[in-house]
Homo-oligomer: A and B are copies of this chain.
Amino acid sequence: MTPTITTFAWVPEFARGFVRDIRVRWACEEVGQPYEVKLIRDAKTPEHRRFQPFGQVPTYTDDEIEIFESGAIALRIAERGKGLLPDDPAARARATQWVIAALNSVEPWVSQIGVVNLFEADKPWSAMRRDKVEADLHGRLADLAAALGDKQWLDGDTFTVGDLMMISVLGQLRNTDMLARHRNLADYVARGEARPAHRKAMADHLAVYADAPAAA
């Protein structure tokens, strides 16, 4: 059975290039895992919520398991395939560490940029708190930039699922100037997004919406 992922049949224009199915597509491409895509119009249905309680995408099914959470799915794909998790136990644990760091120590700060600039842009408090939100994220990114240093990837010369997740999270900042303030981080994201597997994943993601209207 070919693994199947679920994502949206349609998303508004601002969300194209940002939906989390990209992370899962990217992981599949890196390990050479074919996958099928099931497109859904609505993730808030009882049927979808049966195993995605938050009514979101992606979800993932293979011959053995059925899970949600892009981070858990990427780890699953990395564990089954070759190329995203080193064999060395210490390096393997660090790769998992970076996946969790991306999701818990970086993404919540990245997401707040979207909250003030997009989702709550019309709220009276968003303009007031934007400087603080940006300063907090800037601090996180400075810490991460220091950890990356002049290394190619977070753990050195070997690209792992930890880089995949971190670059996916940081890529959400592409319409802002937050990344450009940390040259090595901006280069790191560009390096990750230039990988053939990422290019293919992003192209396949965007192709779903190529002929779709901006508003439904």
A residues adjacent to B (C-beta < 8 A): 49, 53-56, 64-69, 71-72, 75-76, 89-90, 93-94, 96-97, 99-101, 103-105, 107-108, 111, 120, 123-125, 128-129, 132, 140, 143-144, 146-147
Contact = CB atoms under 8 A, between A and B. Distances in A.
Nearest to A169: B104
Contacts of A76: 93, 96
Given A89-B64, A90-B64, A125-B129, A100 B97 contact: no
A101 B69 CA distance: 6
A79 to B, nearest CB: 9
Interface of A is mostly: helix
Contacts of A72: 93, 96-97, 99-101
Given A107-B104, A144-B53, A97 B69 contact: yes
A117 to B, nearest CB: 15
Contacts of A53: 143-144, 146-147
A140 B55 CA distance: 10
Q: How many copies does the complex hold?
A: 2
Contacts of A104: 69, 71, 103-104, 107
Contacts of A111: 108
27 contacts: A49-B146, A49-B147, A53-B143, A53-B144, A53-B146, A54-B140, A54-B144, A55-B143, A64-B93, A65-B89, A65-B94, A66-B90, A67-B94, A67-B97, A68-B97, A68-B101, A69-B100, A69-B101, A72-B96, A72-B97, A72-B99, A72-B101, A75-B100, A100-B100, A103-B104, A123-B129, A129-B129
